[in-house]
Chains A and B, each alone.
Chain A
Amino acid sequence: MNYSFFVRIFCIALACFIGWISPLHGKESAALKGRILDTQGQAVQGAEVYAYRSNKVKGPADYISNRTGADGIFTLVLPPGKYWVLGVFRKSGAKFGPLITGDKHSGEPIPMNVKAGQETERNFTVMDLREAARQIDKKSEELFKITGKILDKHGQPLPMAYAMAHLQPQLGTIPRYLSRWTDDTGRYILYVPRGTLFLGAALTFPVKNDYFLKNRIDVQGDMQEMDIIVMLEKK
């Protein structure tokens, strides 16, 4: 008998004692219930919910729900506490390993607190991994793109300039919306919200507070070819 055998006996004995006084013993568990759906709102059969005790979701899940039936309903009974939870559908039926083509999941794990004796309802939408990529559009719907060139007085593109937009024509502060420095093409992209703005460009940052933005624009959607002429020579 080696050292590890005695360690194991001790662990078992300790666990028996802990089992006797376990917080679960005689106390209510928590339950998480809901449905697993696809992006069309249809139930996904054969999916599961994984719950982790920490946000380190690289290893096997601490708790796994039943596999959903045709109705997509899952139930997960677990001790009360905080978990990080996600929905997963594995085409192969495996329980381990990175997701592969054909699998679906609900994205980043969602932190949830589940309380003793309570049933928490939560649905999960699992996404086909390929479709998700083609639909990615991360621009806020509240913002529009204004594009164009920054030019000198001879119509030549100005590098190391930037576009700016503000709610008033006269700057008393650093403009609200700024583009990055232009390159040799003089092209800029400015992200702005809907509404009336005043547009201009500068060659130095920060620009002086008494700078005057000449171009008034009414932004109702994306705007192209909004060239800005700076009355300076290109050096």
Chain B
Amino acid sequence: MPLIFLTFLVLLLIPCQSIAEVLTNDTVWQGEVDMKEDILVPAGVTLTISPHTVVRVWPSQSTKIDPEFISHRTEITVRGTLQIDGNSKGLATFQLGGENKGERWAGIVIDGGKVKSRYCTVEGAEAAFHVIGGSLELTHSRITDNRYGMIVQGKHGKVSLDTVAIQKNEYGVFLFNGADITRQQSEIARNSRKDIFESSAANNLPTPAPFTFTAADLTKVYGDESLPGETVWKGRVLIKGQVRIPLEGRLVIYPGTIVEFSKKDTNGDGIGENGLMIQGMFIAKGTPSQPILFRSAETQRKRGDWDAINILGSDAAQNLIEFCQVEDAYRGLHFHFSNIGVNHAILRNNYRGAQFQESLVEIRSSDFFDNISGIQARDSEVVFHGNRMVNNGHGASFFRLNLKAANNYFMRNRGDGLRIREGATVVEKNVMTGNRFGLIMADAVFGKVAGNIISQNLEGGASFRDTDNIEIQHNIIQANGLNGINLNNARSMITGNLISENGERGLGIIGFSGRITQNNIMDNGLYAIGLDDEKSDIDAAINWWGDSDLDKELFDRHDDQSLGKVIYEPQSKGPVPVAWSLPTINTDVSWSGSMRIADHVEVLPDAVLSIRPGTTLFFSPHAGMDIHGRILAEGTKEKRITFTSTNQQGASDWEEILLDRASGSRFVYCDFEYATWGIHSHFSDVTISYCRFRQNDGGIRFRSGPLEISHSLFSHNRIGLRAFRGTARIHDSIFTKNEIGIFVREQGDGLTINRNNIFANERYSIRLGDFNKEDVDARGNWWGGVSPLPTIFDGHQEEYIGKVMFEPYLNKQLKLAGGDSK
């Protein structure tokens, strides 16, 4: 009897609703609902919330994210329909439940589904509504006390608000990548940090492409089977169950093989169950011309049609997955306690590209794109090198790894590009751009974040929370939506970085212990450094602040007595050299201050490298640049841009700036010295004005064009200008004290050389090459007050080459400043 009585008492307090994880049927919630697990409303299913319903969402216990969900927090993910039917007498409410202690729930994530909501309140979420795709119609509702009221990503989602208040959140509405909302009689106001924020990624980011495959005849069909011993697959294999490779077995897949999985979904959760379960060895060794394909066998292939390539406890040798494409799976690759090499693989259109733990894993030169999440891994030793994570929901999430991540691209992921929690990590020479957040690091120790480009991320560049002993050095952190670097209870040495052009703060600090020194921090939107609830002083001495007015651009105790002080004296006397470490630039980047370039740097097509006024580039021996995109080096009269060498010895200290089909490139108020060639151009439309080329082996050499060269100086070079089948206008410039002023190697009839001062060159003012048969227009120049004939080598000396047409010539020297001024 006491048991019954106690049961009676307890049950008075307990709501009666039971919650499933994946709804398989239309469901109605009413009364009081305790939601302790994620809820997925799949396509074809409707969840209806009745009036007066209170949904209490308990914060998550864990940081795990199952592949079909978006957040580690407790969430409702809608791929079907969510109908919230409050009314004026009975609101439907979503709020925090449990003993939350400051935690939030994720919110309602609309991932291709439809949400119609009226008379509803949503509180306590990370983002009350997060629209990735699908539609949201919200009427007579209130969104309050969330971190974000609403996030809408991309143009795929349709959002309409009617009589909605989004108030008293930290952030109101964030719109990314062209997202828009329609609203009437709605207010987005009185949110503590920002009401509305819009940001978009650059359009010129490259997109990986899948492999192409040749159709193959069906060679084998499997159901639920175990394959002991050695099994070889070739041709096309159809899997209609779960194929197991036991311990001591080995599955070898030949190049060009296609493996297809039919969909079996016995529990109706929309996720296929067929797959591979490997406890022996797995060798899938494709080649570039004959890759291996793993995909759904269904006519209408969908993500989640099949389970995974599971490899469990296989560490007797290295399993190999090379030149393979894995698509349409729940988890493309899934390992536990295994030794795996993934090389030149493509993981696309899966719920999760790869998931593993307790493993030794190398992932190289592979592409992860269009997955709900790219990679999730924990408790493993990982080399992650040369990969691309593009257009996933989240890029890579690494938990408690011994990790080396280098030369990867994390681009246009809707959430984080790279998230690291705990572990000992080295993150070097990666590019994180166009993501919502570039890099998030939490609870990690003894790590290094060096030589990365973290730029143009929509909301934030890099965030460090509860980290210790992390070196943050030689990164370019620029043009991120709000803050370049966020520091929250972080201990670091931050040095040698370029932190510039971020939307609000270069560095936003809630808690920091360490030094911020020898960085270039400039041209950020609001503050170079902004303190937020940080009461201690910040050591920020010996930085270069550009033209910043530090009284206005430091937010500290001078602005709010409760904050600490940013101690910025003494300041660096000039820009601090920042080492550039990446071999390629594939996204828009700007350089300012002082940059050291130790090797060749390639600017890929569609990328634009902007060099800001006053910048100096120091090139090491044999270093140079290859521009296939565009370079805009636009200095000013007061702040010239200098291309020079680290050695400062003489001509040919460094290579050249090579432009190849880099049309639209511009050099204005630039100085080139100690190069082999200052500018070397092929097939590019380039403008060069007010520039100085001095003490190079050659100033400019070019083929094709057109080039416009004006108001510039060429002096003390072996060759000032060299043309080969070129088209150019050269005017208002000075050629003097070179060994040869202008050398026309071949086909010089495309050149117009007028209104220049060409004089006192050691051997020739103009020399035509032995293969140049054409005449060259060089009229209207001043040749030093004498006839130029003795200083020209042309058809007058060699019959078969063309002539320099120099008459009429000027008798008075032109007043030209020679690269100095307008």
Contacts and interface: CB of A to CB of B under 8 A. Distances in A.
Partners in one complex: yes
A137 B379 CA distance: 9
A7 B11 contact: no
A129 B400 contact: yes
B395 to A, nearest CB: 20
User: Chain A binding site: helix, strand, loop or mixed by DSSP?
Assistant: loop
Interface in B712-733: none
A205 B285 contact: yes
B61 A181 contact: no
**Size category, B interface:** 35 or more
Contacts of B60: 58-59, 97-98
Given A101-B443, A140-B316, A133 B16 contact: no
A61 interface: yes
Nearest to A26: B3
A231 interface: no
B380 A174 contact: no
Contact of A60 (B61, B316, B423): B61
Contacts of A8: 12, 15-16, 31
B72 interface: yes
Interface in B457-499: 466
A132 interface: yes
Contacts of B359: 138
A20 B4 contact: yes
A2 interface: yes
Contact of B58 (A15, A60, A100, A134): A60
Interface stretch (B93-101, B569-577, B812-820): B93-101
Interface in B379-402: 379-381, 400-402
Contacts of A181: 285, 287, 322-323, 343-344
Contacts, number: 184
B11 A15 contact: yes
A105 to B, nearest CB: 10
Interface string B284-300: 01011000000000000
Interface SS majority for chain B: loop
Contacts of B358: 138
Interface string B38-67: 100000000000001000001111111000
Nearest to B465: A101
Nearest to B19: A59
Interface in A7-29: 7-8, 10-12, 15-16, 19-20, 22, 25
A2 B89 CA distance: 13
Contact of A129 (B288, B322, B422): B422
19 contacts: A15-B7, A16-B8, A58-B37, A60-B61, A60-B98, A97-B61, A97-B103, A98-B60, A133-B422, A136-B401, A137-B381, A138-B381, A143-B317, A177-B317, A177-B318, A180-B320, A180-B322, A181-B344, A206-B254
Interface of A: 2-4, 7-8, 10-12, 15-16, 19-20, 22, 25, 56-61, 94-101, 107-108, 129-130, 132-134, 136-140, 142-143, 160, 162, 173-174, 176-181, 183, 189-193, 205-206
Interface of B: 3-4, 7-8, 11-12, 14-16, 21, 30-32, 36-38, 52, 58-64, 72, 74, 98-101, 103, 230, 232, 252, 254-255, 283, 285, 287-288, 315-318, 320, 322-323, 339, 341, 343-344, 357-362, 364-365, 379-381, 400-402, 422-424, 443-446, 466
